[in-house]
Structure 1
Amino acid sequence: MAIQEILLDIDLSVGVFQDTIYEDQRLKLRELGHDADGNSIYPATGYWESTPIRIQDKIASFKGVAAQVDVTEGAAYKIYWSTSEDGFEWLEYEEVSSNSAVSKSPAKYAKVKIEIFAEKKYSNFYIDDFKEKGKYNNSFVESDSGSLGLKRIYQLNMKRASDTPTGIVLRQKVENTKFQKVDGIRVSKG
């Protein structure tokens, strides 16, 4: 009985993606963000799993599976495959090595799983020391005291209602929905 190698193209754009994406004809880990130096940050690991592949129409029986993969940017990977007679109950995944074929009993369906591991590198993250007063100030946050925090005191711009011989009367309207959030009112001279 003669053994012949048959090449099956697998569509990497279809399947189950866990922390991976298919971009520019390549399967990659998805980018989580960037560090302070602009380097990409990736999850530690991710995988892609193919949809079931009907192999009975292509070959009568097979001895095993071997893979050839181009790797860039220092990532590591493992390729697994599983078979099924009915497309519902699958055997456990077995790793496919690049130098030898993995044997399984002939089946009608196969699935491929590719697991990618990110290269470990050191990243720089810079934390602000909040020395520049008011850098992060907005309606709800303040950084005047040398630390970042939520505003607790809100200064309202009161409207001048009337003048009296001893001073002035100022007025501020507070809506019913916001009244429960007010826990104190302080009036200062000024």
Structure 2
Amino acid sequence: MATQEIGITLDFSKGTFDNVIFATNTLQLIEETKDDAGNGVYRDAGNWISEVIFIKDKVTSFKRIARNVNIKGSGSYKIFTSSSHDQLNWTPWTEINYTDGSISSPADNYAKVKIEVFAHKSPTLFTVDDFIIPDKYTNPYLNSSNGVLEMKTLYPLNGEKDVNWNDTGKLFITRVNKTNFKTINRIEVI
């Protein structure tokens, strides 16, 4: 007696999509942005659930999932199945056996397939601001006038000349409010 494989084709363009899309004949995570090198940055995880598959007279033949997987980058995936007799009550999602593609869900009239896709994190570089616009960040504590963002460390204060000063030289008076500074390393008079 000859063995015959019966195939039920899954239409990846239909179904329920969560953080994945079907593009260029593949399921892929949604690209959120690109890094400085032009590489795509994708959502962490997503899944696709097939439309309900009516097994018909192939109930006993629906035992394995054949897969043609092409993983780009360092992502991973998992495949689950669920079955139902009436399309109302479904068995819990059960992961397939990846060695031979066998299905653990009980054979029934209806089935669904779920594919979970995961992106693995890798270091990437994003330029938030290159500080080429002078004085873009104007506030009393930051300086961005030299193409870098840095904390201000010099705070010039103008004093008032004390007209009652009778000694040699001149005396200028100013107040330094200590609540504006965490520490004062030095006071320099110019």
Calculate the TM-score normalised by the size of structure 1. 0.65
* Residue of structure 1 in register with 2:117 after alignment: 116
* Residue of structure 2 in register with 1:105 after alignment: 106
Aligned CA-pair RMSD: 2.4
State how far apart, in whole Å, the 2-side matches of 1:127 and 1:106 are.
53
8 Å CA contact 1:68, 1:98 repeated in 2: no
The alpha-carbon distance between structure 1 residues 49 and 32, as it changes in their structure 2 partners (threshold 3 A), is same
Contiguous gaps of at least 5 residues in structure 1: 135-141, 149-190
* Residue of structure 1 in register with 2:71 after alignment: 72
* Residue of structure 2 in register with 1:143 after alignment: 137
* Residue of structure 1 in register with 2:129 after alignment: 128
Q: Helix, strand or coil for the counterpart of 2:86?
A: coil
Higher fraction of strand: 1
Q: How do residues 10-159 of structure 1 correspond to structure 2 at under 5 angstroms?
A: 10-57=10-57, 59-62=58-61, 64-74=63-73, 75-100=75-100, 101-128=102-129, 130=131, 132-133=133-134, 143-145=137-139, 146=143
Q: Percent identity?
A: 36
Q: Which has the larger radius of gyration?
A: 2
Structure 1, residues 121-167: CA drift from partner, whole Å, max 9, x if none? 11102232646325xxxxxxx6345369xxxxxxxxxxxxxxxxxxx
Q: Helix, strand or coil for the counterpart of 1:65?
A: coil
Calculate the TM-score normalised by the size of structure 2. 0.65
For 1:110, give the aligned amino acid.
A
The size of the alignment, in residue pairs, is 140
8 Å CA contact 2:53, 2:110 repeated in 1: yes
Q: Helix, strand or coil for the counterpart of 2:61?
A: coil
